[in-house]
Amino acid sequence: MAIPIILYTAHHCPFAHRVQIALRQIGLEFETCLIDITVPRTRDYLAINPNGMVPALVYGDLVLTESNLICQFLSDAYPGHLLKASSEAGGALQRFKTGYFVEVYFAKAHLFFDSTVFSNDPDIKKAMATKYVDAIARHVEPLLTDAAPFFGESERPTLAEVLLGPFLLRVLALPKHDHLVPGSLPDALEREAPRFYAWAQIVTTVNSVTAIWDEDLVVRLTLERIAKMKAAK
């Protein structure tokens, strides 16, 4: 008998989006419950997840939180193309390389992309976008030499694509909105980090990654968040 699964999520949240991708990649049936994270959380949701954040995954009798840990749990519970079991040949090394890759991307590069998006100064946006491209070229590009087409010579998406997919969607889509990200960023990535750019293009066409992606919604809510941050200063 299948374990009942309920995903409490917000489709515009990249962290919650990760879990949706993992569930779809594994092929698990799940119920979706949308949470409005732009307003104070309801008492009912706080009873499920007291910190009020998304995602929360009800997995049988368990309530799991923190997107990276949920995705890791699902990959461990259902070993396969996302992630080998550590006892499988090459499994321990794959797990290390995946964890290292994801850590490097967020610690060395993605912070500059976020700074680009949320800056109100056009000159700072351009400077942060340049730093993002430089960090990708220096730190991330060398880790994709064996992307064929997915991370680690995989022919199918892995945990690396699950954890980065929602963020790559934003990296490639938001430059179409120059008031958020300079429109020159994709060309700079293609020039300075061609492996990363090609890999990101492939990842962002995977059905499980694009299934709930709504660019207009993400842009609108990002602009609203920037306006609130500006008003709070």
pLDDT in tens, 5-41: 999 999 999 999 999 999 999 999 999 999 999 999 9
- Distance of alpha carbon 94 from its chain centroid, rounded? 19
- Residues 102, 175, 68: CA angle, nearest 5 degrees: 20
pLDDT (tens digit, 9 = 90+) per residue, 151-179? 999 999 999 999 999 999 999 999 999 89
The Cα–Cα gap between 174 and 191 comes to 18
At 4, is the pLDDT very low, low, confident or very high (cuts 50, 70, 90)?
Answer: very high
pLDDT (tens digit, 9 = 90+) per residue, 79-137? 999 999 989 999 999 999 999 999 999 999 999 999 999 998 999 999 999 999 999 99
Domains annotated on the chain, with CATH: 5-77 (3.40.30.10), 91-232 (1.20.1050.10)
